[in-house]
Structure 1
Amino acid sequence: MPAPVHPHPIHLTLANGLRVALRHAPRLKRCAAVLRVAAGSHDVPLAWPGLAHFLEHLLFLGTERFPAGEGLMAYVQRHGGQVNASTRERTTDFFFELPVSTFADGLARLADMLAHPRLTLDDQRREREVLEAEFVAWSQDAQAQLQVALMKGLAADHPLRGFHAGNRDSLPVESDAFQHALRDFHGHFYQSGQMTLSLAGPQSLADLQALAQQFSDELTPGPLHPQAAPPALMHGPAHSYQHIANQHLHQIITCNAPRQALEFLCTWLNASAPGGLLAQLKARQLATAVHASVLYHFAGQAVLDIDFALDTRNESATQIEALLYDWLSFFARSDWTALREEFALLNARQQQVQGALALARNDSEGLSEQGVTALKAMLDALHLPAFEHNWQLPPNNPLLRPPAKEERAGLIRGQTSAHRGLRSFAQDRSRGRRELTALIFSQALADDTDEGALYLHWRFDAGVPTGLEPALQSLREHARQAGVELSCETIANDWLVKMHGLHEPMPAVLEELARCLNRCDEPLSPPEPVPLIAIRELLKALPACCAGVQPEPLEAQASWSGARWQGLGSGLPTASQAAIKIAAAHLPGQPANIPYTPQPIDGQHLWHEVNTDSSEAALLLFCPTPSLSLVDEATWRLLGHVLQAPFYQRLRVELQIGYAVFSGIRQINGQTGLLFGVQSPSTSLDGIVEQLHTFLGQLPSLIERSPVLGNQALAQQFTAQALPVSQAADLLWHAHRAGHSSGYLDQLHHLIQSRTREDLQRAAQQLNNAAGGWRCVANGPHVNDDWQAAQ
């Protein structure tokens, strides 16, 4: 497998003090920027908790040069990118990803909002209400409160024990003292010497450096201001403590090892191989999972959390702690040479497959000699006795080592790369083995890169067997380490497995998948569901609601013998296709072409009630296109493109009815539609539905007022040259399910370009008339008689 180009970033410090990291990766389709400010929640004056997070929000509200409708968030969304920000204890990050052609304009908007925020009092009052809503959600979120609870064993005077979320009471925007503090914080920290910019993209290093310099020139110049060192994490000789809640034992260890050394330790703590900690805990029925992670790292201080999912049959915190420290003793006395080589391979492989944004955020490095020394010193400080058990270090991940190289087959005689994408899915199917006609290899994507995708879809006579995801946990981790993201999705009686990433390990991953599934003769206990905020619970339930099939009771679940499966591969070279066909022959169930069975709800208003633990109103509205035609899909995609920013501006910014407000096109079970989502701490479901009706009723005038429809910007997002392989493959899978040809991307690109304002007006009328139906998924009963409760 070819080594990644420039595996390590080029580090520079520009004349104004801005630190820059540049990553050149020709395989990327997009560019990304991550701007880190060395200031976070713990750098705020004690009188104003939440000020840093509040400022982060305010910066997105527009500037004189780029008002909100032209600011970074609206610009990135308009061009199909992704954008966000995050305020942590000692850092604040702003990050976005865009196509190459629009990246410079994105950087210009980021620089301007950092240097010239508007900070008007009206903006602050409105945004304070957003933080109040986030605070209410944070105070009710189990995971957020767990993080608070995990810190209770630390020293009382450490800022990790303090309140930093920010709410209506802690952000008195009418106070002159608060306004001075806000502007002082911005002036002190938001200048060039306090910032680090990381860029990743396919451009040359020279071009990336020129972009960094242009960005730097727009910043407010200033020196680096060292951040105040925090007090000790714990007072006295203790370095650790335990926290037990909700069938989890958390072993918290405080230390001063470098982050990369701790990541190295966590990698092997989390390993599920025989002879390791998890294997021993499972054998003794003490725990079912282990997850070690770094909760905090700053100025030589670190907090390590080792999370044990307890086995209800035997919950002995004392035994678990003893085994943990015995394993740590063994690990401290082991030879790490092979593990260091494996760790370096893992980091290199991740850099080879990461998208632009993940690559720009990646600061992982191999474990240095200084890191080894620091990690050994940290383990020595725990005063570990000699180990007693016969532990083993985990073996090498075989998926990281490429198989024997085979001759790469070329194109069919007379065929050139220009012919790709001209075949139908049915023609692609004919190239498969006769006995595996349900396994198709699409030619819509070029096979001359390292990446590809494989989709495997099973349909059962009754419910999907339980516990499949836990059974694949080890395989998923090994596949991820090898550069293949393996994910699963259950929808009623259907089960979908997706593989995205490097195509070379995929046949071996598929072989292991077949072995795992063939061992799943008996139903396994499903894992405990992870608590989610209400809107995420609804998103999780949406596909099953759209399928129109209720999950079967456990006793009615079918076996693998009656299951049927089909598959679609994209971007895979001939050699990988041949190896995948061989491996697929061992998959359980019968290969068969599974018919697409859409659930039309034309003209209906269906309401699905989903129970959530939240007291806040949360609602999803999914509006399918009137038909499965590509013309309808192209028109509705453009309609979603036009209304996305105004919908957010109206409901989130102007009306302040919720902090989770979004809209866009979604494809669910092969069906394309417009999805609207709102979660609100103050507005009822009835109020949300009313605002949705009002907004959709104003669409005709919105379309008429729009100076530019954005056909070209949207169409460019659907070319194989601009789409990352994973996104292109996902679109092709839904196209295959809906019966479209493998020329789907080219056709969609052309149709979006040719849509007119009249086409959009017709689509808006169809949307308001529920021509394709309206499907509402909410955490409460239907609000009036216009809605029919779904069965």
Structure 2
Amino acid sequence: MLTTLNFAQSHFFTLPNGLKIMHCPIEDASTSYVSMAVKAGHFYDPKSCEGLAHLLEHGLFLGSEQLPQPNSINDLIERHGGAINAWTGTEYANYHFHCHNVALPALLPAFADMLQTPLLNVEALSKEIQSIEAEFQFKRKDDLRRLYQIHKETCNPEHPFSKFSVGNASIFEQMPLSDLQAALKQHHEQYYCASNMALCIFSALPFEPLRELIAHTFGSVPAGKPAPDNWPPLYLDQHKGIQISIVPLQSARRMIVTFPLPALHNDFKVKPLDYISHLLGDEGEGSLLAYLKGRNWVTNLIAGSGIEGDDYKDFNVSFQLTGDGLNHRLEILEALFDYVRLIGESLDEPWRYQEKAKLHSLAYQHEENPKLMPLACDYAQHMFVFTFDEIKMLRSEPDSFDRATLEQALSLFNPDNIRVKTIAQGLPTDRQCKHYDACYGIDPLPDTVKAALYKPQRHSALYLPPPNPYLGTDYQLVAQEADYALPQKIKHQDGLACWFAQDHQFNSPKGDIYFSFDAEAFTQNLEAVAAKRIWLACLNDALQAKYYRAEIAGLHYRLYGHQAGFSLHTRGFTNQQMKLAAQLLSALHTEQPSREQFELRKAMQLQSLQNSLLNKPTNRLFSRMSVLIQRSTQAPIDLIKAVEKCSYEHMLMVSQQALDKYYLESFVHGNWTAAEATAFADDVAHANPNASGSPLSRQVSRLPAGTTLYHKVPSEHEDCAVVLYLQAPSSSLMDTVMCLVLEQILSAPFFNTLRTQKQLGYVVGTGYVPHNQHPGMSFYIQSPNHSPDHILSEITGFLFEQMQEVDFYRAYWETIQHNLLKQLEERDLSLSMKSQRLWISLGTADYEFNRNKQLAECVRGLSFNEIKTYANQIAERTLFGELVLFAAGKFDELDCSKGQRVDDIATFKNLTPCF
């Protein structure tokens, strides 16, 4: 919860060399978070070597004076329960890590050494260039990256935003490696100085010793000179009032309307852009989205996103278009400007601003589990923009309604100050962007269009939201009842089970309510699954406008499918949540989608499924793995055919059959009394007389031990990818713990050997992968340069050799054991996380609700000799089931002669028995 962060008590100081420091105390936290912002982003790349800042960021991980081996800093921090990462943005680069509090005094000097004395060894740089080249190639077919490059080419070419930020081998190899090394060292010396650095630390460690440590560690950093930031305008007049047509790789129809603005996002007192995006992005009745959906022109709208920097901000209004909407873009723009007019007129009614301020205050006051590492990175950067006193106020509610500030902001939302991007197949284009070869065209917006937008037609169906009926006045905590600290079954009858647990940990006026419907009619065949997907999409569409007011008042809901049927989950403030849940349950039984809704959502399902076939190869392999191992999960390639066949009548028939008989399980957890939960359970039972079915099993395919199964996944991508999945022989505590332990042991060396040293690909990693709680491990590589045979040989060669030589890691066992125990014994970080954990326990019939505790006890009692014996059994390849999934890309197919290749999904499932 946010109360663990005490911004009001933050400490700020500046070292004599100019380095700014912020320390924010965290109450009762065992982890510290550290972020260093450096004013050395890609804006500062020399034009002769674009991407140099990005290469330097990578270079800092390749060894320093105190830790000369590549990635030594990663290994050191991981051994202390943490992780380190970095990114290069526009104006700033950022380096950040987290670790156990007790390790911070030892790790901070290593962090400083990495930042200040990088070796930039020529041989290591040569390998890292190939890593960046792999990263570049990996993103070449990414529509977002292609869109970003077109953005760069359609702004002021004299502004540094126009530079290519990533870099690639062809750029870096234009000069000898020695010259590139010299350029990196010069760049580092010029920009990695105290005047360009700001350090933010979130930690429970006391401030005074920390101040001394920081001063000692970073006091010797050269002061240097502040980096210049007097950039020319991001857009000249010729870059505004234009329309840009872009042809994507995936099937998509979008229109993005961009309003170029000054840095209004930095106005933390009035927050004018928050207010404007709050109203423009409204999804309730009368909203811009509701009106455009009613005309069947758009399916979604997002307002407020866009690039931003210290002195500029793009405010985007992004529309996801229907086929009909693509032909009515002018009418959509007119409706947008009509709604902007309404917002301007609303300034006569300041209550809307005040209501938004209250919502903002409630969200921060009762925020659950803020992501502290990204937050620390934000605050490190804030020190370049705001004074220390201002920083303490950034997360406070808006100071006051200021009509003049809001009017000034709205005056910039005018037709001469827009850039309109349309993204769709078949648009006319006359040029290609650099590096990514995306086709696009640019034309001025006709004067007739701008004239129409200055005086848009008034739409009676557009109106601003009324007062929010879900905004409560009482957010009090209920009295604790000792009998309900863990879930108790409060109602049980044939076809229905209701559980309740009270929050005794977070003291929050929030809670979660889960419902799971196991409906056999939705699982009979692919056609039934397709009908379910479309039906749920139609329902979500129908509910969106009706219950949007609840969403922005802190009452959220999600309706989604699962292997055995579908689920409904509500969360947020307990005030009125049961009322919302009851309304949504009623809607499940009473809402009947129209034929028009069906046709639209069917088309969107097809588009989504077809786009999933264009995902990166590694993503496709993991998706297919879930399909093969989880018996009731279907592949997009099969669902496409079933969705295409689905008729409106069939969808209605299957959904009605599903609602005629189902098994319903519910769980209420949070700030309610047992009496409230019991009364709610009675209401649920009364409202669901058809809850008369039985729970459906979630079967898992059992891979044969001693035999390798191979499965090819078609992919349009040129990269090859291989995933080796090892399935444990059972879901016992010991098998689960051994998977967790061995994956932790092998994770870092697998990455360092196969990515850093051998440069096999950009996407390299390992993972603990359970399916329906059955444990397993995965090892994966995606490569633009190597064949599937070579990749699999490297994976298996490394893996089974390491399993045989696992004794090498005996010295690390105590650290790995400590980190695993910390993960398993860590308290739930938020009420919602605890709710989800308890709900999963109910789903797996773990009625003791202590599996993590049991796993921790097993880890604590484990000897390294037991690990060695178990690893040797895996190395003999007779204990675990093995599945190799591969996408060949531009290479020859994998040699599968050492096992059995089964490409057909149905055949694979018929071939393998079940757990």
TM-score normalised to the size of structure 1? Answer: 0.86
| 1:545 and 2:628 matched | yes
Return closer, same or farther for 1:171/1:581 CA change in 2, 3 Å cut-off: farther
- Residue matched to 1:708: 812
2:463 counterpart (370, 389, 392): 392
Match of 1:60, SS state, is coil
Instruction: Measure how far apart 1:277 and its partner are.
Output: 1.4
Return closer, same or farther for 1:537/1:197 CA change in 2, 3 Å cut-off: farther
Match of 2:726, SS state, is strand
Pairing of 1:522-601 with structure 2 (within 5 A): 522=593, 524-525=601-602, 526-527=604-605, 528-529=607-608, 532-549=615-632, 551=634, 553-554=642-643, 555=646, 558-559=654-655, 560-561=658-659, 562-567=661-666, 574=673, 577-578=677-678, 581=681, 585=685, 590=691, 593-601=695-703
Pairing of 1:100-111 with structure 2 (within 5 A): 100-111=101-112
Tell me the percent identity. Answer: 21
1:749 alignment partner AA? A
Comparing 746-755 with 31-40, greater Cα deviation is found at 31-40
1:657 alignment partner AA? L
Query: How far apart, in 1, do the equivalents of 2:315 and 2:413 lie?
Result: 13
Query: How far apart, in 2, do the equivalents of 1:368 and 1:656 lie?
Result: 53
Q: How many residues align?
A: 776
Instruction: Measure how far apart 1:771 and its partner are.
Output: 2.8
Return closer, same or farther for 1:404/1:738 CA change in 2, 3 Å cut-off: closer
Indicate conservation of the 8 Å contact 2:626/2:633, yes or no: no
1:386-429 alpha-carbon deviations (Å, 9 max, x no partner): 663344333455555365747424203xx9xxxx67xxxxxx45
Indicate conservation of the 8 Å contact 1:782/1:788, yes or no: no
Query: How far apart, in 1, do the equivalents of 2:69 and 2:683 lie?
Result: 52
Instruction: Measure how far apart 1:584 and its partner are.
Output: 5.1
Return closer, same or farther for 1:3/1:713 CA change in 2, 3 Å cut-off: closer
2:870 counterpart (763, 766, 785): 763
1:552-598 alpha-carbon deviations (Å, 9 max, x no partner): 63447642414434345667764585576467555797375444433
Query: How far apart, in 2, do the equivalents of 1:674 and 1:684 lie?
Result: 23
Query: How far apart, in 1, do the equivalents of 2:510 and 2:100 lie?
Result: 19
Indicate conservation of the 8 Å contact 1:475/1:512, yes or no: no
- Residue matched to 1:774: 882
Comparing 551-560 with 309-318, greater Cα deviation is found at 551-560
Query: How far apart, in 2, do the equivalents of 1:770 and 1:229 lie?
Result: 65
- Residue matched to 2:438: none
2:181 counterpart (174, 179, 182): 179
Instruction: Measure how far apart 1:125 and its partner are.
Output: 0.7
Query: How far apart, in 2, do the equivalents of 1:264 and 1:240 lie?
Result: 25
1:9-55 alpha-carbon deviations (Å, 9 max, x no partner): 73623224333444445376744333222221111111111111111
Return closer, same or farther for 1:115/1:488 CA change in 2, 3 Å cut-off: farther
Comparing 44-53 with 339-348, greater Cα deviation is found at 339-348
1:300-330 alpha-carbon deviations (Å, 9 max, x no partner): 2222222111121242221122221221222
- Residue matched to 1:341: 354
Pairing of 1:370-769 with structure 2 (within 5 A): 373=404, 375-383=406-414, 385=454, 388-390=458-460, 391-395=462-466, 401=472, 405=476, 407-412=478-483, 428-432=487-491, 434=493, 438-441=497-500, 446=505, 448=507, 455-461=514-520, 462=523, 463-464=528-529, 465-467=532-534, 468=536, 470-471=540-541, 490-495=561-566, 507=578, 510-511=581-582, 513-515=584-586, 517-518=588-589, 521-522=592-593, 524-525=601-602, 526-527=604-605, 528-529=607-608, 532-549=615-632, 551=634, 553-554=642-643, 555=646, 558-559=654-655, 560-561=658-659, 562-567=661-666, 574=673, 577-578=677-678, 581=681, 585=685, 590=691, 593-603=695-705, 604-706=707-809, 707-709=811-813, 710-721=816-827, 734-740=840-846, 741-768=848-875, 769=877
Return closer, same or farther for 1:360/1:251 CA change in 2, 3 Å cut-off: same
> Which one has a bigger Cα radius of gyration?
2
- Residue matched to 2:217: 218
Query: How far apart, in 2, do the equivalents of 1:579 and 1:643 lie?
Result: 51
Alignment RMSD (CA, Å): 3.8
Indicate conservation of the 8 Å contact 1:79/1:714, yes or no: no
| 1:48 and 2:49 matched | yes
Return closer, same or farther for 1:661/1:745 CA change in 2, 3 Å cut-off: same
1:333 alignment partner AA? E
Return closer, same or farther for 1:598/1:39 CA change in 2, 3 Å cut-off: same
Instruction: Measure how far apart 1:755 and its partner are.
Output: 1.4
Return closer, same or farther for 1:660/1:357 CA change in 2, 3 Å cut-off: same
Query: How far apart, in 2, do the equivalents of 1:714 and 1:9 lie?
Result: 33
Indicate conservation of the 8 Å contact 2:490/2:498, yes or no: no
Return closer, same or farther for 1:85/1:578 CA change in 2, 3 Å cut-off: farther
2:289 counterpart (278, 288, 293): 278
Pairing of 1:221-300 with structure 2 (within 5 A): 221-222=222-223, 225-236=226-237, 239-245=240-246, 246-259=252-265, 260-300=271-311
Instruction: Measure how far apart 1:701 and its partner are.
Output: 4.3
Match of 1:170, SS state, is helix
Instruction: Measure how far apart 1:128 and its partner are.
Output: 0.6
Match of 1:127, SS state, is helix
2:20 alignment partner AA? R
Query: How far apart, in 2, do the equivalents of 1:440 and 1:478 lie?
Result: 28
| 1:13 and 2:13 matched | yes
1:665-695 alpha-carbon deviations (Å, 9 max, x no partner): 1223222211222211112222221111111
2:293 alignment partner AA? K
Query: How far apart, in 2, do the equivalents of 1:26 and 1:480 lie?
Result: 30
Indicate conservation of the 8 Å contact 2:480/2:502, yes or no: no
Indicate conservation of the 8 Å contact 1:295/1:303, yes or no: yes
- Residue matched to 1:784: 896
Query: How far apart, in 2, do the equivalents of 1:99 and 1:486 lie?
Result: 35
Query: How far apart, in 2, do the equivalents of 1:605 and 1:493 lie?
Result: 29
Indicate conservation of the 8 Å contact 2:94/2:377, yes or no: no
Instruction: Measure how far apart 1:656 and its partner are.
Output: 0.8
1:189 alignment partner AA? Y
Query: How far apart, in 1, do the equivalents of 2:8 and 2:166 lie?
Result: 35
Match of 1:275, SS state, is coil
Return closer, same or farther for 1:489/1:168 CA change in 2, 3 Å cut-off: farther
Return closer, same or farther for 1:123/1:519 CA change in 2, 3 Å cut-off: farther
- Residue matched to 2:450: none
Match of 1:271, SS state, is coil
Query: How far apart, in 1, do the equivalents of 2:874 and 2:616 lie?
Result: 28
Instruction: Measure how far apart 1:659 and its partner are.
Output: 0.9
Indicate conservation of the 8 Å contact 2:272/2:409, yes or no: no
TM-score normalised to the size of structure 2? Answer: 0.76
Indicate conservation of the 8 Å contact 1:510/1:580, yes or no: no
Query: How far apart, in 2, do the equivalents of 1:24 and 1:628 lie?
Result: 41
Return closer, same or farther for 1:633/1:299 CA change in 2, 3 Å cut-off: closer
- Residue matched to 2:333: 321
Unpaired segments ≥5 residues, structure 2: 247-251, 266-270, 380-393, 416-453, 907-915
Query: How far apart, in 2, do the equivalents of 1:520 and 1:266 lie?
Result: 30
Indicate conservation of the 8 Å contact 1:256/1:378, yes or no: no
Instruction: Measure how far apart 1:196 and its partner are.
Output: 2.5
Unpaired segments ≥5 residues, structure 1: 422-427
Indicate conservation of the 8 Å contact 2:478/2:673, yes or no: no
Match of 1:590, SS state, is coil
